[in-house]
């Protein structure tokens, strides 16, 4: 009787415990289910957000180099995010307009719009339509226009106004056309060389060929040779005591640079040849034996062609003839002697000069030589000169060759350029040795450059790099989380999901575990 009564008293309690366990297990499973869904949503959200396609953040710029003999257009591109406030810019296209430089359009400015059409249309096709309105366009005119401005300011203004009008008609963001100074031209070429050689930025990944050991090497100097002017630019060693406008200041990739840059107008290779001919005319009667042209070469020139710019004014006088006959004699040594007379090194009012009384600090470090230096020395296969002697031997042999033989050997070279290579090569040697005073022992420090990493070495890339300091960077389009944070969250949420699954299995199959806890 007592067992029956005791049994009846115990059963309800067991039933109550079982009901309570089932109730608790059901609610725990519901909570786990909602938690599982929440964590799963968080996991998917982090993955999708982190790996979403980033919006295109590529910017473009166009620079036109309006030189003395031609006009070239360059298209540059860079990421909207900048490195230390200066864009990482690369050249993606180039185009040369058919015809002479814009300075030759002084009396036919109505042709300038057509002259620029082909290259501008190429840029329109290359740059995405959505980027047209924000793509800046700059035109920089160099020595050809500087000469025209000196001779006829009104005509120069007319040319520049017509160029501006033409470029403004395109759907780009035209930022202006101007005649840049010679010092600017040299300095922007200096920026280009050091940028391409990896001397500015610390991001070696942009320059895969250059090792980290080379990152802190000296900044390069720049040597630019055009048709009407030549520039020399480098960072001087020590403090400059002389008061000179040739020291320029740049902020690039978070660093300040004080740079010496001077342009010698009328000492580009084309104008230098006219200066030499004008000088030598003074002692002739209309027939000139010219050592800088090949034996057998003969050409008749009008005096008006020789004296067409003010570069030859110092040798201008009344001649009894209107034409001169040039007869080549092909003598390198005589050619070199005649050219050296163009550089007046007898007078220097400063501690150190280049020539013609122009201040220049002493040469320092390695130099990159481009434009005319490259075109001429590439013809002679002297872009990797081991010594001055090698260059002299090659030029002596080339200048002495008969003109007929030279024409047959280099039949694919335009005759105007071919006839002037003897002079141009000799002039480069004289300019470097007599003009800039490079010691013969330092010849290996001059690196002749055409292109580096598919970008032309010239002032336009440096111009674009400097101008990107003025273009605000777009909002940084990077992943919202760092890689380490992303990995941590993915692992953390995954572990929570695994724990919730294990917990739900235990609750569902072995609810008695919770009964023990409740007891």
Per-residue pLDDT tens for 244-264?
889 988 887 778 888 999 999
In terms of C-beta density within 10 A (0-12 exposed, 13-18 middle, 19 or more buried), how is residue 516 classed? Answer: exposed
Asked if residues 286 and 311 have their Cβ atoms less than 8 Å apart, the reply is no
For residues 363 and 505, the model is more confident at 363
- The SS3 of residue 143 is helix
C-alpha–C-alpha distance, residues 281 and 306, integer Å: 10
Residues facing 225 on adjacent strands: 230, 371
Range 20-39 average pLDDT: 69
For residues 241 and 353, the model is more confident at 353
C-alpha–C-alpha distance, residues 469 and 250, integer Å: 10
Measured from the Cβ of residue 305, the count of other Cβ atoms closer than 10 Å reads 11
Tell me, what's the pLDDT at 252?
Answer: 77
Tell me, what's the pLDDT at 120?
Answer: 97
The answer to whether the 58-266+458-470 and 269-448 domains have the same CATH topology is yes
Question: Dihedrals φ, ψ of 502, to 5°?
Answer: -60, -45
What are the Cα distances from residue 163, in Å, to 176, 350, 422? 10, 40, 36
Tell me, what's the pLDDT at 22?
Answer: 62
What are the Cα distances from residue 186, in Å, to 117, 142, 254, 375? 28, 10, 21, 18
Split at pLDDT 50, 70, 90, the class of 38 is: confident
Catalytic residues, which ones? Answer: 185
Q: Which tokens hold the place of 76? A: 């540059």
- How does pLDDT run across 98-113, given as a tens digit for each residue? 999 999 998 899 999 9
Split at pLDDT 50, 70, 90, the class of 512 is: low
- How does pLDDT run across 264-295, given as a tens digit for each residue? 999 999 999 999 999 999 878 889 999 999 99
> b/e string for 426-454 if b means 16 or more Cβ within 10 A?
bbbbbbbbbbbbbeeeebeebbbbeebee
Q: Is the dihedral of CA 207, 213, 216, 220 positive or negative?
A: negative
Split at pLDDT 50, 70, 90, the class of 43 is: confident
Tell me, what's the pLDDT at 420?
Answer: 97
Residue 518 in this model has a pLDDT that exceeds 60: no
Measured from the Cβ of residue 44, the count of other Cβ atoms closer than 10 Å reads 11
Asked if residues 335 and 280 have their Cβ atoms less than 8 Å apart, the reply is no
> b/e string for 401-413 if b means 16 or more Cβ within 10 A?
eebeebbeeeeee
Asked if residues 283 and 274 have their Cβ atoms less than 8 Å apart, the reply is no
N residues, the chain: 519
Q: How far apart are the first and last CA of the chain?
A: 29
C-alpha–C-alpha distance, residues 407 and 298, integer Å: 13
Tell me, what's the pLDDT at 454?
Answer: 81
Split at pLDDT 50, 70, 90, the class of 325 is: very high
Asked if residues 278 and 316 have their Cβ atoms less than 8 Å apart, the reply is yes
Tell me, what's the pLDDT at 2?
Answer: 47
- Residues contacting residue 400 through CB under 8 Å, at least 6 positions apart: 294, 295, 330, 331, 332
Tell me, what's the pLDDT at 8?
Answer: 45
- How does pLDDT run across 112-140, given as a tens digit for each residue? 999 999 999 999 999 999 999 999 999 99
Kindly compute the dihedral angle of the four CA atoms of residues 272, 278, 281, 283, in this order, to the nearest 10 degrees: -90
- The vertex-144 CA angle with 139 and 147, nearest 5°, equals 120
For residues 433 and 32, the model is more confident at 433
C-alpha–C-alpha distance, residues 512 and 287, integer Å: 121
Q: Which tokens hold the place of 8? A: 């009846």
Residues facing 223 on adjacent strands: 232, 369
- How does pLDDT run across 410-463, given as a tens digit for each residue? 999 999 999 999 999 999 999 999 999 999 888 889 999 998 888 899 999 988
Split at pLDDT 50, 70, 90, the class of 516 is: low
What are the Cα distances from residue 426, in Å, to 273, 275, 336, 386, 417? 11, 15, 6, 17, 14
Mean pLDDT score across all residues of the chain: 84
Split at pLDDT 50, 70, 90, the class of 476 is: very low
Residue 39 in this model has a pLDDT that exceeds 90: no
Residue 209 in this model has a pLDDT that exceeds 70: no
Tell me, what's the pLDDT at 215?
Answer: 41
Split at pLDDT 50, 70, 90, the class of 355 is: very high
Residue 32 in this model has a pLDDT that exceeds 80: no
58-266+458-470: in CATH 3.30.420.40: yes
- Residues contacting residue 279 through CB under 8 Å, at least 6 positions apart: 315, 338, 341, 342
Q: How many CA atoms are closer than 13 Å to the CA of 475, on its beta-carbon side?
A: 4
- The vertex-176 CA angle with 170 and 178, nearest 5°, equals 130
Q: Is the pTM of this model over 0.85?
A: no
Residue 285's closest CA among 319, 316, 317, 318?
A: 319
Name the residue ranges covered by the structural domains of the chain: 2-53+479-518, 58-266+458-470, 269-448
Range 187-197 average pLDDT: 92
CATH topology of domain 269-448: Nucleotidyltransferase; domain 5 (3.30.420)
Q: Which tokens hold the place of 348? A: 């220097």
Tell me, what's the pLDDT at 489?
Answer: 73
Residue 471 in this model has a pLDDT that exceeds 60: no
C-alpha–C-alpha distance, residues 219 and 179, integer Å: 27
C-alpha–C-alpha distance, residues 161 and 153, integer Å: 12
């Amino acid at each position: 009787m007592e067992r029956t009564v005791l049994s009846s008293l115990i059963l309800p309690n067991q039933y109550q415990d079982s009901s309570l366990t089932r109730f608790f297990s059901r609610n725990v499973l519901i909570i786990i289910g909602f938690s599982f869904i929440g964590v799963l949503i968080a996991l998917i959200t982090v993955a999708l957000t982190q790996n979403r396609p980033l919006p295109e953040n590529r910017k473009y710029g166009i620079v036109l180099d309006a030189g003395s003999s031609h006009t070239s257009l360059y298209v540059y591109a860079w990421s909207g995010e900048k490195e230390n406030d200066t864009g990482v810019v690369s050249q993606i296209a180039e185009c040369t307009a058919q015809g002479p430089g814009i300075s030759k359009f002084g009396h036919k400015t109505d042709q300038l719009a057509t002259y620029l059409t082909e290259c501008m249309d190429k840029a329109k096709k290359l740059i995405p339509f959505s980027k047209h309105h924000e793509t800046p366009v700059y035109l920089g005119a160099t020595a050809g226009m500087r000469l025209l401005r000196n001779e006829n300011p009104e005509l120069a203004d007319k040319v520049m106004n017509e160029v501006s009008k033409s470029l403004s008609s395109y759907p780009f963001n035209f930022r202006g056309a101007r005649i840049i100074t010679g010092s600017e031209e040299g300095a922007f070429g200096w920026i280009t060389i050091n940028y391409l050689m990896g001397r500015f930025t610390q991001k070696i990944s942009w320059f895969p060929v250059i090792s980290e050991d080379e990152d802190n090497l000296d900044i390069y100097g720049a040597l630019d040779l055009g048709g009407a002017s030549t520039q020399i630019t480098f960072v001087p060693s020590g403090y400059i005591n002389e008061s000179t406008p040739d020291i320029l200041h740049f902020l690039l990739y978070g660093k300040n640079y004080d740079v010496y840059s001077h342009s010698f107008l009328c000492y580009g290779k084309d104008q230098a040849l006219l200066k030499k001919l004008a000088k030598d005319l003074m002692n002739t009667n209309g027939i000139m034996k010219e050592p800088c042209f090949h034996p057998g070469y003969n050409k008749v020139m009008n005096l008006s062609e020789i004296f067409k710019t003010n570069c030859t004014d110092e040798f201008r006088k009344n001649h009894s003839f209107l034409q001169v006959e040039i007869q080549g004699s092909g003598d390198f040594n005589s050619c070199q002697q005649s050219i050296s007379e163009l550089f007046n090194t007898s007078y220097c009012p400063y501690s150190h000069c280049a020539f013609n009384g122009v201040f220049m600090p002493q040469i320092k470090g390695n130099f990159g030589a481009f434009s005319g230096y490259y075109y001429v020395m590439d013809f002679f296969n002297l872009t990797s000169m081991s010594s001055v002697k090698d260059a002299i031997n090659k030029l002596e042999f080339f200048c002495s060759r008969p003109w007929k033989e030279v024409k047959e050997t280099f039949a694919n070279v335009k005759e105007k350029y071919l006839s002037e290579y003897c002079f141009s090569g000799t002039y480069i040697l004289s300019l470097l040795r007599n003009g800039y005073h490079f010691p013969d022992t330092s010849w290996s420090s001059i690196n002749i450059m055409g292109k580096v990493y598919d970008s032309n070495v010239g002032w336009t890339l440096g111009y674009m790099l400097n101008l990107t300091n003025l273009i605000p960077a777009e909002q940084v389009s990077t992943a919202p989380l760092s890689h380490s944070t992303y990995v941590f969250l993915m692992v953390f949420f995954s572990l929570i999901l695994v724990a919730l699954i294990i917990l739900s299995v235990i609750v569902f199959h072995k609810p008695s575990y919770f009964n023990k806890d409740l007891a």
